[in-house]
Amino acid sequence: MKAMQGYCGFLGLLVSALLVGFLAVLFTLVWVVHYREGLGWDGGSQEFNWHPVLTVTGFVFIQGLAIIVYRLPWTWKCSKLLMKFIHAGLNTIALILAIISLVAVFDFHNTKNIPNMYSLHSWIGLIAVIFYTSQLLLGFLTFLLPCTPPALRAFIMPIHVYSGLLIFGTVIAAVLTGVTEKLIFTLKNPAYSTLPPEGIFVNTLGILILVFGAVVFWIVTRPQWKRPTEPNAKLLQPNGSTPEGTDYSITGDFGNVDKSDEDGEAAARKRNLKLDEVGQRSTM
Amino acid sequence: MKAMQGYCGFLGLLVSALLVGFLAVLFTLVWVVHYREGLGWDGGSQEFNWHPVLTVTGFVFIQGLAIIVYRLPWTWKCSKLLMKFIHAGLNTIALILAIISLVAVFDFHNTKNIPNMYSLHSWIGLIAVIFYTSQLLLGFLTFLLPCTPPALRAFIMPIHVYSGLLIFGTVIAAVLTGVTEKLIFTLKNPAYSTLPPEGIFVNTLGILILVFGAVVFWIVTRPQWKRPTEPNAKLLQPNGSTPEGTDYSITGDFGNVDKSDEDGEAAARKRNLKLDEVGQRSTM
């Protein structure tokens, strides 16, 4: 019964995350298509509009999914390597979309003779892209190259997990400053300060992005929803640590330390796994 | 030797957090005094200027200190109750400063006939203040009222820890959108887009605030810097959980799950504690 509650709780939050993330992408599209000039690649406003669309789709929504992908209980029977490829693949797609979104805004600025890189938004955004690229490269070298020593993986993992969440938060901050900028620059008649429908709509988009980040942050920091340690991993290593060092993930015990809770948590995870088998059967 | 490295690492990061946080407050003061109209309480720009000063001082710097105050090894021998009072006290000061900063900006808007609460910045900021107030009240009722059942404390703690960090991140996002707004509104001649000295200076302030958040986030999520479980706590409870439920804190094992690492972590914490005694003797 408790396991079922835990499983339903996870599903409820996952559906919320997907719904809020999807809504944020939809709101961005409605913003640029309905309230603004639509999409195009002409060096003008239509090209600029790819900037928010691709950022929210890739850098916020897809990055958010990449962060929680290890938490899906029905993937726990898939190999860790497959899950790493999915995690890295989603992040690569997000990075490509972020880079295209940068090209769009630089192209727009250059066509319109607007200076680049002067605003706080642009500084935070560029920092986020540079760190995200480094994170992806370092992640690939550390966790996907088969020759990387397990000790190095174990050393890098907490840093990888920390910087992943930090970059995600920084991207959200960059998006919110970008939305602020754009609304002030474009809402002139009627002015932003009179809170026209576009203002309310895009402010709501900002709040949706914040809520999406909050739900992802909650999901990824619950210990009971963490992918279990590989069953054979401990047997392979004399010291009981995992050979890949990849189970040192963020949730760890974000909110639980005592051994007694650790055990309770492991049991809860086992229950979730069993329940997942039921879930899989029922959907097959 | 390893313990000394861990202790020095903590001190290094703590000094960095204090330095960056102090620099952010200093930059905010220089911004409003040197580049803007200075400080006053006249309904005009001088009154508005209290808004960034009090927000960065209270809502960012002091809240950040309140978050990491349990991590200071030299406080581990103080009673948990004392530390709770310090944590709650710092957060109360931060809330009071945040509320005064709100009064300043509403007063300024009303005097100048500028509408309130239309921008994304104001929406995020108000959400942050409301959640922060609720967090403080709920924290008081749960962890400081002696009659609250331990089971309720244990249930609330992971939520308290999660929402504390989420609110801190939201406050930083609110500040960065606020800085963006203010720079666009005020930097007209020379324009913000020509990146005048004030633009560079205040963009740097924004980055400092982001770095402060990143350092606090790192410190608070390292398991080895977590306040150890009260020595008598486990003895008092038949199930081995702490009576207050207050050791279910954020670091948990942010980056460490395996039991073997748990043990290593506990040992590291013990070493830190011993080292701390040395540190205290040497400074007495």
Domain A2-253 has CATH 3.40.630.30: no
For residue A283, what pLDDT is reported? 31
Segment B208-215 mean pLDDT: 98
A253 to chain B: which residues are within 8 Å by CB?
A: 252-254, 257
The share of chain B scoring above pLDDT 70, in percent, equals 81
* A251 or A18, which is more confident: A18
pLDDT in tens, A14-70: 999 999 999 999 999 999 999 999 999 999 999 999 999 999 999 999 999 999 999
* B234 or B163, which is more confident: B163
Q: Is the pLDDT of residue B17 over 60?
A: yes
Confidence band of A278 (pLDDT split at 50, 70, 90) = very low
Q: Is the pLDDT of residue B102 over 70?
A: yes
* B240 or A60, which is more confident: A60
Q: Is the dihedral of CA B265, B267, B270, B276 positive or negative?
A: negative
Which residue of B165, B172, B177, B205 is the best one to mutate when testing the A interface, meaning the one whose CB has the most A CBs within 10 A?
B177
First to last CA, chain A: 22
For residue A245, what pLDDT is reported? 41
Check A120 against B169: CB less than 8 A apart: no
DSSP of A224-283, one letter per residue?
A: GGSPPPPTTHHHHSTTS--SS-TT--S-TTTT--SHHHHHHHHHHHHHHHHHHHHHHHHH
Interface of B with A in 204-233 (CB under 8 A): 206-207, 210, 213-214, 217-218, 221, 223, 226, 229
The length of chain A is 284
Structure tokens at A129: 């892209």
Judged by average pLDDT, the poorest of A127-136, A237-246, B172-181, B188-197 is A237-246
Confidence band of B281 (pLDDT split at 50, 70, 90) = very low
Q: Could you tell me how many CB contacts below 8 A there are between chain A and chain B? A: 196
- Using the Cβ of A162 and the Cβ atoms of chain B, whether some distance falls under 8 Å is answered with yes
Q: What is the dihedral of CA A193, A197, A203, A206, to 10 degrees?
A: -150
* Residue of A160, A97, A95 lying closest to A129 (CA atoms): A95
Q: Confirm whether the ipTM is greater than 0.95.
A: no
What gap in Å lies between CA B113 and CA B165, rounded to an integer?
35
Contacts of A162 (CB under 8 A, 6+ apart): A250, B217, B218, B221, B254, B255
Confidence band of A151 (pLDDT split at 50, 70, 90) = very high
Average pLDDT of chain B is: 86
Considering only CB atoms, B173 lies closest to which of A158, A172, A181, namely A172
Question: What is the H or E stretch that residue A182 is in?
Answer: helix A150-186
For residue B16, what pLDDT is reported? 98
What single DSSP character describes residue A191?
Answer: B
B207 to chain A: which residues are within 8 Å by CB?
A: 120, 123-124, 127
Q: Which residue has tokens 């959108």?
A: B177
Inter-residue contact A169 to A216 (CB < 8 Å): no
For residue B231, what pLDDT is reported? 61
SS3 letters for chain B? CHHHHHHHHHHHHHHHHHHHHHHHHHHHHHHHHHHCCCCCCCCCHHHHCHHHHHHHHHHHHHHHHHHHHHHCHHHCCCCHHHHHHHHHHHHHHHHHHHHHHHHHHHHHHHHHCCCCCCCHHHHHHHHHHHHHHHHHHHHHHHHHCCCCCHHHHHHHHHHHHHHHHHHHHHHHHHHHHHHHHHHHHHCECCEHHHCCHHHHHHHHHHHHHHHHHHHHHHHHCCHHHCCCCCCCHHHHCCCCCCCCCCCCCCCCCCCCCCHHHHHHHHHHHHHHHHHHHHHHHHHC
How many other CB atoms are found less than 10 A from the CB of residue B199?
20
For residue A144, what pLDDT is reported? 97
What gap in Å lies between CA A48 and CA A37, rounded to an integer?
10
- Using the Cβ of A126 and the Cβ atoms of chain B, whether some distance falls under 8 Å is answered with no
Q: Is the pLDDT of residue B276 over 90?
A: no
What gap in Å lies between CA B237 and CA B20, rounded to an integer?
42
Average pLDDT of chain A is: 86
For residue A92, what pLDDT is reported? 98
CA distances A161 to A83, A157, A178, B22, B57, Å, are 15, 6, 26, 28, 29
- Using the Cβ of B157 and the Cβ atoms of chain A, whether some distance falls under 8 Å is answered with yes
Q: Where are the domains of chain A?
A: 2-253
For residue A230, what pLDDT is reported? 72
B265 to chain A: which residues are within 8 Å by CB?
A: none
The domain B2-277: what is its CATH number? Answer: 1.20.120.1770
* Identity at A146, one-letter amino acid code: P
How many other CB atoms are found less than 10 A from the CB of residue B16?
16
